[in-house]
Homo-oligomer: A and B are copies of this chain.
Amino acid sequence: MRLSQAFLPVLKESPADAQIVSHKLMLRAGLVRQTAAGIYAWLPLGLRVLNKIEQIVREEQDRAGAIELLMPTLQSADLWRQSGRYDAYGPEMLRIRDRHDREILYGPTNEEMITSLFAADTSSYRQLPRTLYHIQWKFRDEVRPRFGVMRGREFLMKDAYSFDLDEAGARLSYYKQMLAYLRTFQRMGIQAVPMRAANGPIGGDLSHEFIVLAPTGESEVFYDAAYDQFDWSQADLNYADEAGLKGLFERVNTTYAATDETHDEAKWAELPEATRRTGRGIEVGHIFYFGTKYSESMGLKVSGPDGNPVIPHMGSYGVGVSRLVGAIIEASHDDNGIVWPDAVAPWAVGLVTMRGDDAVSQAAASDLYDKLTAAGVETLYDDRDERGGAKLAGMDLMGLPRQVIMGPRGLAAGTVELKDRRTGEKEEISIESALARLTA
């Protein structure tokens, strides 16, 4: 993308109304704009990141055998009356009356709808197990929306729902999603620790939150240093390996991790001091096993292997896709702006000419831009006739992982600067070497 043709507005001043660093940076770097309280438009830069995060979530769901579909944003109130949650849900549910005065609502989650859909087209145990998911906008009418997309009202969520014949099957589906979550966050370049959590109003007795470690996080966390070493992508953990999945769950269950809400000082004291880690964190995912609560209320029943009816056991599994954009920034930024992990960067490379009015620089930059683009390297080329310093500051603010900086003096000697956003290290190398490194 050539910046002169783009819509990538950056703000010079730090917005006064933003309280946390990710919100400030998302406004300054032009990822989002608020259009109503807790409701945001995603500008091109923010949408690129959102799409990358969404795609990683999708690929890891698919890899775990979950099947994608797409439920609508609006739901009928009757569906929620059937489970008893319509009255129970409280003022966070956005309740709507349509032109015929029918009661509808903007879905905050989809247990009722997916169970009803699955029930309508499922009659036999042979159609189980299944895990279905969708990635769709949800709405929760927060009493005091704040922190930008971290606690917005309209937000993008991946929610998956598993259907199994019995509890043992449902627990296996739960373990699969647990592994998928750990891999999802690891791929995004952030560390997320699973922590035992309360099921709350969704029901059931088995639940984990996934907390991204970030110095500016909302809650205090306590965890075993072993989590710093785990590699969830390891080849010996696959979704067909039941023993491996159970082992994963046991390992998570026996390796200490807790938020301030669930922290157990006695257990904590048992850990060797050298392995105790404390920090702050942000919730980015939550998984639940809740048995037959929704299959019973929504009328999901299949004929079992012996012909007798069976009520399937269910779980649900959420990832805050739009929230992750903020959480990743909280976990990865510095004084100059965002520092995107490679996997979610809006562009892999930022290309800057220090003198936009210099024809030699323009020609060299344009040539490198074409070559990088042809090689499939996503590149943002700031081709505007602006001050070099302002362009560099923009690239740092937007957080592009690698930057190529071209100036008349270097080009006269055939060299460019290659900069690493995270370390700030710069190297003076030939254009050919830069191209080779960036396309490697």
Q: In whole angstroms, what is the CA distance A69 to B31 when docked?
A: 10
Q: In whole angstroms, what is the CA distance A175 to B116 when docked?
A: 46
B47 and A69 form a contact (CB under 8 A):
yes
A72 and B102 form a contact (CB under 8 A):
no
List CB contacts (< 8 Å) of A22-70 with chain B: 30, 33, 35-37, 39-44, 47, 50, 65, 67-70
Given the contacts A7-B69, A44-B67, A47-B68, A75 and B120 also touching, CB distance less than 8 Å: no
Q: In whole angstroms, what is the CA distance A352 to B127 when docked?
A: 19
- If over half of A's interface residues share one DSSP class (helix, strand or loop), that class is named, otherwise mixed; here it is mixed
Q: Does A390 count as interface, using CB distance less than 8 angstroms?
A: no
Q: Does A94 count as interface, using CB distance less than 8 angstroms?
A: yes
Chain B residues near A132: list those with CB within 8 A: 7
What 6 additional pairs, Cβ within 8 angstroms, besides A30-B121, A137-B137?
A: A36-B72, A39-B76, A41-B69, A41-B72, A44-B69, A98-B153
**Interface hub of A36, A96, A120 (most chain B Cβ within 10 A):** A36
Chain B residues near A79: list those with CB within 8 A: 35
B39 and A72 form a contact (CB under 8 A):
yes
| Distance of A171 from chain B, by nearest CB (Å) | 20
Given the contacts A35-B75, A154-B74, A68 and B96 also touching, CB distance less than 8 Å: no
Q: In whole angstroms, what is the CA distance A72 to B40 when docked?
A: 6
Given the contacts A36-B75, A74-B154, A130-B7, A68 and B44 also touching, CB distance less than 8 Å: yes
Chain B residues near A92: list those with CB within 8 A: 99
Q: Does A14 count as interface, using CB distance less than 8 angstroms?
A: no
Q: Determine which of B33, B41, B65, B153 lies in contact with A5 in the assembled complex, contact meaning CB atoms within 8 Å.
A: B65
